[in-house]
């Protein structure tokens, strides 16, 4: 490992010296000192058979593809089941040794080597088929072009861009071309046809899995990761969780990994727990969606972009007209979502929701309740070349339930939309729902849906009418 680390150190230093000399006209060291370091690097590469993609001894030419070719994976690259509960992690681990790893937030990549040479890099795609991005992988900052392993070798990992590099790259882009997060930037960079662009994005590859057995190694997940490190790969930050003290230490382990990722500016969107005994994990099998040998622990919500198509105002039990965002369908955690409450006018404005046709970001709070995260600012005028209709959201001045005027009072510094009609049927539903609830009269059989139906039929217009529903027995 000392030689591998020295290779990485020399590669980084020499590239820094080259950048200072060619781009800033500054010579940080003499030519003689540079040549000595260069020769040492070359000697170590020949001795270890390990060469990094950005090694100054191997210049990779820039390459332009006409399109990205589809490629079928050698094995399924499935998604993982998710949880937000540490109790679920404890139940998953039971009495087994596990690894708890950072879940890198980038683009999943599969690398293939034959007799020590990198021959293919492919994106995860749909899990069965991805895209060939070998030309771009060859200009990543830390992938070994050459490894000291004869025969067939595959490794799965994540292409990432650190937060520091993301900020630097984004700061140089025009406002309308800036990326929202490192994941979007790395995804767009890895899928470029011209790898000259990818070469400027400081993309790193972090190994998190060796999918096939390695000669001479046991079925230990940890041993496979550590073996990848000896080949020159950067491996995912992890903690080995022994089965005995696991329940006590899990919270500390989670915080340590989160801090490690933060200190190193790694973009992560959670953690992954997997069984160290690979053979045991494989005996558990898979579902159509995920393997059972691993579990993702999510402490952030995934954000999904979509387009706002309408705002509907509906009346809740309190009589407030609540704005609901209706948007183009988007799949989140296996279900199709197309509506989310905006709660009140103040929240709607804070989220930046202003126009129909506006791009919004949505997520599932606690992986259950659809919510709007924010809205992308847009200009309120329509581009004559844009065929998409953009129109300002209109706050209704008439109640959609009874047609009476609406008002916007402030309740605890929050703006809400209400119907001015005290006898509005929308308000009646809320009043009756409370009246028949367990905390009040406690009448069984009168659910909110039933009350709503009876109000529509004209059978309920006041509390008194509840006691005369027997008059409608035949109609019921």
Residues with catalytic function: 103
State the DSSP code for 459: S
* β-pair partners for 364: 370
Q: How many CA atoms lie within 13 A of 454 on its CB side?
A: 26
How far are the Cα atoms of 80, 322, 457 from residue 370, in angstroms, in the given order? 21, 15, 32
Cα separation of 432 and 450, whole Å?
11
SS3 394: coil
Cα 432 off chain centre by: 43
Looking up tokens 């997060």 gives: 181
Contacts of residue 59, defined as CB under 8 A and 6 or more positions apart, other chains included, come to none
Q: How many CA atoms lie within 13 A of 1 on its CB side?
A: 7
* β-pair partners for 52: 144
Strands, DSSP E only, in 63-221? Answer: 70-72, 82-83, 98-104, 107-114, 117-123, 129-131, 144-146, 152-160, 204-209
Residue 42 token pair:
């070359």
Among 283, 288, 261, residue whose Cα is nearest residue 272:
261
Residues in the chain: 476
Cα separation of 312 and 196, whole Å?
47
Q: Sign of the CA dihedral 191, 192, 194, 199?
A: negative
Judge whether 353 and 342 are in contact, CB under 8 Å.
yes
SS3 143: coil
State the DSSP code for 465: G
């Amino acid at each position: 490992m000392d030689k591998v680390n020295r290779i990485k150190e020399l590669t980084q230093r020499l590239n820094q010296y080259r950048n200072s000399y060619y781009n800033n006209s500054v010579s940080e060291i003499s030519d003689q000192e540079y040549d000595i370091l260069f020769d040492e690097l070359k000697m170590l590469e020949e001795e270890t058979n390990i060469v990094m993609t950005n090694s100054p001894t191997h210049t990779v030419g820039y390459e332009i593809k006409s399109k990205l070719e589809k490629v079928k994976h050698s094995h399924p690259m499935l998604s993982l089941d998710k949880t937000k509960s540490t109790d679920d992690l404890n139940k998953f681990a039971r009495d087994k040794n596990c690894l708890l790893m950072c879940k890198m937030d980038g683009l999943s990549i599969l690398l293939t080597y034959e007799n020590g040479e990198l021959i293919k890099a492919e994106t995860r795609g749909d899990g069965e088929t991805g895209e060939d991005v070998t030309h771009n992988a060859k200009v990543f900052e830390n992938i070994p072009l050459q490894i000291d392993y004869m025969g067939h070798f595959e490794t799965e990992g994540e292409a990432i861009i650190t937060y520091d590099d993301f900020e630097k790259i984004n700061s140089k882009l025009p406002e309308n071309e800036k990326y929202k997060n490192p994941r979007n930037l790395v995804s767009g960079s890895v899928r470029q046809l011209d790898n000259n662009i990818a070469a400027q994005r400081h993309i790193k590859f972090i190994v998190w899995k060796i999918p096939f057995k390695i000669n001479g190694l046991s079925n230990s997940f940890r041993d496979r990761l550590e073996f990848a490190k000896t080949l020159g790969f950067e491996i995912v930050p992890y903690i080995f969780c022994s089965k005995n003290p696991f329940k006590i230490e899990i919270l500390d382990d989670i915080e340590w990994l989160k801090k490690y990722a933060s200190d190193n500016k790694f973009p992560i969107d959670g953690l992954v727990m997997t069984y160290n005994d690979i053979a045991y994990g494989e005996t558990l099998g898979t579902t159509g969606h995920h393997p059972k040998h691993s579990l993702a622990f999510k402490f952030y919500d995934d954000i999904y972009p979509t387009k706002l198509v309408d705002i509907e105002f509906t009346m809740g039990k309190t009589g407030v007209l609540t704005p609901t965002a209706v948007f183009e369908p988007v799949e989140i955690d296996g279900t199709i979502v197309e509506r989310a409450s905006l709660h009140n006018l103040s929240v709607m404005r804070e989220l930046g929701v202003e126009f129909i046709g506006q791009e919004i970001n949505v997520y599932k709070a606690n992986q259950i309740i659809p919510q709007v995260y924010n809205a992308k600012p847009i200009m309120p005028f329509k581009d004559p070349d844009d065929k998409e209709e953009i129109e300002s959201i209109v706050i209704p001045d008439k109640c959609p339930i009874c047609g009476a005027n609406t008002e916007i009072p402030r309740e605890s510094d929050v703006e809400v939309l209400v119907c001015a009609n005290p006898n509005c049927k929308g308000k009646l539903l809320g009043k009756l729902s409370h009246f028949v609830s367990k905390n009040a009269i406690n009448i069984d059989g009168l659910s909110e849906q039933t009350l709503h139906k009876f109000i529509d039929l004209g059978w309920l217009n006041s509390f008194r009418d509840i006691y005369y529903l027997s008059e409608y027995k035949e109609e019921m």
